[in-house]
Copies of this chain bind each other. A is one copy, B any other.
Amino acid sequence: MNIFKNPPRENWRNLCERPQLDLDSLTGTVKNILENVKRSGDRALIDLTLKFDNVSLEQLEVTNDEIQQSEKYLSASLKNSIQLAARNIQKFHAAQKRDVLTIDTMPGVTCWRKATPIEKIGIYIPGGSAPLFSTVLMLGIPATLGGCKEVILCTPPNEKGGVNSAILYAARLVGVTRIFKAGGAQAIAAMAYGTESIPQVYKIFGPGNQFVTKAKQLVSEEGVAIDMPAGPSEVLVIADETADPSFIASDLLSQAEHGPDSQVMLVVNEKVTVDSIIKEIKNQLETLPRKDTAEKALANSRIIIFDEESAGIDFVNEYAPEHLIINTKNSDEVAGKITNAGSVFLGAYTPESAGDYASGTNHTLPTNGYAKAYAGVSLDSFVKYITFQKITQEGIKTLGPIVEEMAEAELLQAHKRAISIRLKQINS
């Protein structure tokens, strides 16, 4: 980790830079995959699964039997943990429901706004080294709470043509309606365009590698909504001299193990003994199964020392971290000054991993500085708000002349006439 002390503000832009993904170079490859799936449907998916996942599938959809069997392979204690986590996530997201909002803006002019489920949504869960059943909870729970009718899930098959049992168990628990064995850009294409087996959806959620990210970007240009632009995961820890160096090190490493392109940042004041934190990181690193990955991530990472707390906070807001851990004695006060972050963890006993799995908040969050303008996934990500209005004869008599005046000034006579023709009829 590189160390910087009181870097001048003109250097902050560089210090906020993330490891770059060059997605443009993938455009051609991913476009070909999308075209192939659009043209050949299931056939393309089966061929591409053989090519990329080395498995020959006869059927894309996971059977009810496979789903039911999954339960047998999980310990009672893991199932219990998944259920408790699901309950917390359910609680926090259910509280986000909004009633219909109705306002009479003028007498006879009633306007309202109603959350309406996105009817069909798709969840992508990557395969690879870590079976991300926690993401099934994070996306499936608000989807069913939001009232989405069709909630499908695509995930690549393992080398035996099966799907990880915890993923299947979590999917059934949260009410995913159908599960398909499909991975990579081809799975995104299947959900965007539909195939013989896989239904077309209106919005696609979930993490993935660079091919998946590029595919989501490309289909979003064609009108399919996506959860958010994705980049490698990241954490920023802001700590003072009261923070336990071993806690800090464990939090930094829990992010670093995600991937070699993850970024971990540490912002401290000058009273913090940075050496002891670095020593802790080295010690803990030694016994990590994903040591190689974490080491690569640490190479992208920075420790920044600020004498002034306010400069540290300004830097955090400029960085706009996906995850922000505030491990200081005045964590509430610091949290009150945070304007840009995905999810914030306050105090010594609130590690990021609590929110990654089970505290109740969502773990699908904006990376790469997107927290300046984007929020993480919430119940609102699964509904859209439709506005309605109803105007009475009395209402249009008051409102109508205002509209006529404005339409005239915008040189839109037909807009004006839609009012005038009604006023004339009322007055006749």
Contacts and interface: CB of A to CB of B under 8 A. Distances in A.
Interface string A208-239: 00000000010011011100010000000000
Contacts of A29: none
A47 interface: no
A413 B257 contact: yes
Contacts of A342: 386-387
A86 to B, nearest CB: 10
Nearest to A284: B417
Contacts of A258: 412
Interface string A16-42: 000000000000000000000000000
Given A250-B421, A344-B388, A405-B81, A360 B411 contact: no
A346 B109 CA distance: 11
Interface residues of A, number: 130
A355 B389 contact: yes
A166 B409 CA distance: 8
Given A119-B372, A368-B223, A370-B223, A406 B357 contact: yes
Given A415-B254, A417-B254, A375 B385 contact: yes
Given A101-B95, A257-B414, A357-B407, A344 B119 contact: no
Nearest to A117: B339
A402 B357 contact: yes
A124 interface: no
Nearest to A363: B387
A392 interface: yes
A389 B250 contact: no
Contacts of A362: 387
A396 B133 contact: no
A372 B400 CA distance: 31
A252 to B, nearest CB: 9
Contacts of A359: 105-106, 109, 111, 389, 391, 399
Indicate the member of A332, A366, A375 with the most B CB atoms within 10 Å: A375
B84 A402 contact: yes
A272 B412 CA distance: 28
A352 interface: yes
A49 interface: no
Nearest to A390: B346
A57 interface: no
A419 B353 contact: yes
B129 A406 contact: no
Given A359-B399, A378-B385, A389-B345, A253 B92 contact: no
Nearest to A101: B95
A36 to B, nearest CB: 19
A287 B353 CA distance: 67
Given A116-B338, A349-B426, 19 more contacts: A77-B405, A92-B103, A109-B359, A119-B340, A134-B406, A223-B370, A250-B421, A254-B418, A284-B417, A289-B411, A344-B387, A344-B388, A353-B418, A354-B400, A356-B415, A357-B407, A358-B402, A361-B389, A366-B384
